[in-house]
Amino acid sequence: MFFDARAVPTDNVLETDLCIVGCGAAGITLARELSRSTVRVVVLESGGLAFESPTNDLNKGAITGLPYFPLETARLRYFGGSTNHWGGLCRPEEPGDFEARAWIPESGWPIGRGDLNPYYPRAAAIVGVPVDDWDLDRWRARSPFPTLPLPADRITTVVAQVVESRERSFAPRYRAALDAAPNVAIHLHANVVDIETDESGRHVRRVHAATLEGNRFTVAAHVFVLATGGIENARLLLASDHVRPNGVGNDHGLVGRYFMEHPRFIAGLILPTDRRLPIGFYEPHHAGGTTLLGYLSLSQEAAVTEELTDVQVRLAPIYDPAVQAALDSPDVDKLRELADWLSGHDPVDDVGEDLSEVVGDLLSWRSAMIVGGPIPVPLPEVVDEVIRRARAGDLEGVIPLMLGDVATAGYRQLTGALPVTAIALSTRIEQVPNPDSRVTLGSERDALGMRRAELHWALADLDRRSVIRTLELLGAELGRTGLGRLRIDLEEESDTWPDDLAGGWHHMGTTRMSDDPAHGVVDRNCQVHGIDNLYVAGSSVFTTAGSGTPTMTIVALALRLAEHLKGALA
């Protein structure tokens, strides 16, 4: 059930079995799991059911290291959390991601991929992945496009899936079920500002919540779980410094350290020997009932031999300007929306308007041509395919293939081989754990009196070397196979990073997992070392950043934690 915390009288004490702080992917998963039990659950959510600027401004903080997104845009504080603006890219971690690698400091999770195997299939369903299959060979068979003919013992292709945009937010998907759960009370607009422990600092008595309207209350529970994201989890622990001056769970000074991202930037370029090098597999495309996307990376064997961290390379075609202009055409976007609409989901807004704007074009599809483009006109392949699909009643397949600019997109969809000027290499790094990359508390305070977070994002030499060496090896294989030549744009002897360096909006490592309290904030069960009733959920517990994308693993870990808590609270 949902409640508005603004109506809770000041100084009230809510008593419960389990208190979950935060209602994003991890918090919602935990609450859902516990909703099928007899455990009484109170969930404290900072925001309401929709975005509100004053609440989200509580995320504001300073950036002191490498340039990073403004913190108030990097996470969302309302029901559903950051799933409300999630990009939907999914891939589980590989077994090797959990293992200790001697050349990567502080690598090695206390759990292995096998510990998460029972939870990943459900996690895939929860996040909305259509097909829980990550086997390259099977996806090769399903995709209309080939992978590049590179030697698998050196360069491999990994696959990710993109969850449909309307499926990404947990809020609409799980709100009704949580609202109907009699043992789950979700208090909206409740901002936790302090974690109160007993005098020993080894047991949490209660958390203090405040609303922007001014009322304050506490929640006393047997067990508490922080699920507020990689920056806020650390901020809350650090700010709760009444008993221990370093904050809660921070006896070894690790809270907030080892902040990791998946840094990404354009690190180079491929000049293909054949400008029609088929790279359709490496762009988002429909295959086997999902949206698939391939990346190039070193094989695990090569990464181990070279002692590198994982670097994934996305191939981003750079087209002739005339072709690019066609692909960027608003008409193409409109028809994509139409295709989505026709796929049987809820109508998108303004779809009727879009339809009226393109209907004239639809009637004249036989005149399909690309003005100034390098493609022969008319496009016999496109026309033939349109006829074939139309006869088969495949409207969804027909519409993106229709005409003009749209034919360009259609041609690419059919062949995956529009002639390219070059191929940009968009790299994504498994950032090396780095104690100097950290979240601390600044001196400025937010509207509730809490010290704001300060993020000092820092990368290590191994991050740079991994990108360069990965591209060198890829360049060598492209040359050896005659597919093209590769340029690396990252300098070895440099302290600077490319201007377009950005993260993947992934906040990891600030309450890292280790069985040794000297090396981690939480143990293998996500329990804060030295505190008998405090747990952390979310990617802040990641020991290393991994080669996957975090959301599925966040949910798998939350499912595992829920099972543990059911036992602990029984």
Partner 1 sequence: MNARPAGVSRRRFLEGAAAFTVAAGLGGLRLATLGASSSTDPVERLASLLTHRSSAAAFGREVLRERPAEASAAVLLAALRSTVPDLDRLVRAGSDDDLRAAIDAASRRDFAVGGDAILRVRGWVVATTEARLCALAAVA
**CA dist., res. 235 & res. 433, Å (int):** 19
What is the helix (H) or strand (E) element at residue 209, kind and residue range?
strand 204-210
Residue range at the interface with partner 1 (CB under 8 A); choices 19-27, 137-145, 200-208, 310-318: 310-318
Q: Rule CB under 8 A: which of 321-380 touch partner 1? A: 324, 327-328, 336
CA distances from 469 to 298, 310, 459, 462, 476 (A): 10, 11, 16, 10, 10
Smallest separation, CB 348 to partner 1 (Å): 16
Is 314 a binder of partner 1 (CB under 8 A)?
yes
> Do the Cβ atoms of 457 and 450 come closer than 8 Å?
no
- The correct pick among 482, 493, 567, 570 for binding partner 1 (CB under 8 A) is 482
Smallest separation, CB 424 to partner 1 (Å): 5
Q: For residue 344, with 0-12 CB atoms within 10 Å meaning exposed, 13-18 middle and 19 or more buried, which class applies?
A: exposed
Residue range at the interface with partner 1 (CB under 8 A); choices 95-103, 141-149, 234-242, 467-475: 467-475
Q: Name the pairing type of β-strands 451-456 and 484-488.
A: unpaired
Is 159 a binder of partner 1 (CB under 8 A)?
no
For 425-441, letters b (16+ CB in 10 Å) and e give bbbbbbbbbbeebbbbb
Comparing CB distances to partner 1, the nearer of 77 and 428 is: 428
- DSSP, collapsed to helix, strand or coil, labels residue 28 as helix
- DSSP, collapsed to helix, strand or coil, labels residue 89 as strand
Comparing CB distances to partner 1, the nearer of 22 and 484 is: 484
Comparing CB distances to partner 1, the nearer of 327 and 569 is: 327
Is 398 a binder of partner 1 (CB under 8 A)?
no
Smallest separation, CB 330 to partner 1 (Å): 13
Smallest separation, CB 428 to partner 1 (Å): 11
Smallest separation, CB 186 to partner 1 (Å): 34
Smallest separation, CB 162 to partner 1 (Å): 9
**CA dist., res. 361 & res. 82, Å (int):** 39
Give the pair of three-digit tokens for residue 269. Answer: 């370029």
Smallest separation, CB 153 to partner 1 (Å): 13
Strand order in the sheet with 451-456: 61-63, 451-456, 438-445
Give the pair of three-digit tokens for residue 105. Answer: 């400091």
- Secondary structure of the chain: what % helix, strand, coil (to 5)? 35, 20, 45
**CA dist., res. 389 & res. 402, Å (int):** 11
Residue range at the interface with partner 1 (CB under 8 A); choices 212-220, 315-323, 353-361, 436-444: 315-323
Give the pair of three-digit tokens for residue 8. Answer: 């809770």
Is 489 a binder of partner 1 (CB under 8 A)?
yes
**CA dist., res. 520 & res. 512, Å (int):** 5
Comparing CB distances to partner 1, the nearer of 268 and 550 is: 268
CA distances from 6 to 39, 182, 191, 192, 258 (A): 25, 21, 11, 13, 36
Q: Rule CB under 8 A: which of 412-451 touch partner 1? A: 412, 421-422, 424, 426
**What would the x/- binding string for partner 1 be over residues 275 to 294, using CB under 8 A?**
--------xx----------
- The correct pick among 200, 480, 516, 532 for binding partner 1 (CB under 8 A) is 480
Is 479 a binder of partner 1 (CB under 8 A)?
yes
How many chain residues interact with partner 1 (CB under 8 A)?
Answer: 41
In degrees and rounded to multiples of 5, residue 364 shows phi and psi of: -120, 35
Comparing CB distances to partner 1, the nearer of 46 and 156 is: 156
Is 486 a binder of partner 1 (CB under 8 A)?
yes
Q: Rule CB under 8 A: which of 498-527 touch partner 1? A: 500, 502
What is the helix (H) or strand (E) element at residue 540, kind and residue range?
none
Comparing CB distances to partner 1, the nearer of 64 and 415 is: 415
Q: For residue 548, with 0-12 CB atoms within 10 Å meaning exposed, 13-18 middle and 19 or more buried, which class applies?
A: buried
Is 145 a binder of partner 1 (CB under 8 A)?
no
Smallest separation, CB 160 to partner 1 (Å): 14
Is 382 a binder of partner 1 (CB under 8 A)?
no
**What would the x/- binding string for partner 1 be over residues 228 to 267, using CB under 8 A?**
------------------------------------xxx-
> Which positions lie near partner 1, rule CB under 8 A?
264-266, 268-269, 271, 273, 283-284, 314, 316-319, 324, 327-328, 336, 412, 421-422, 424, 426, 471-473, 475-482, 485-489, 500, 502
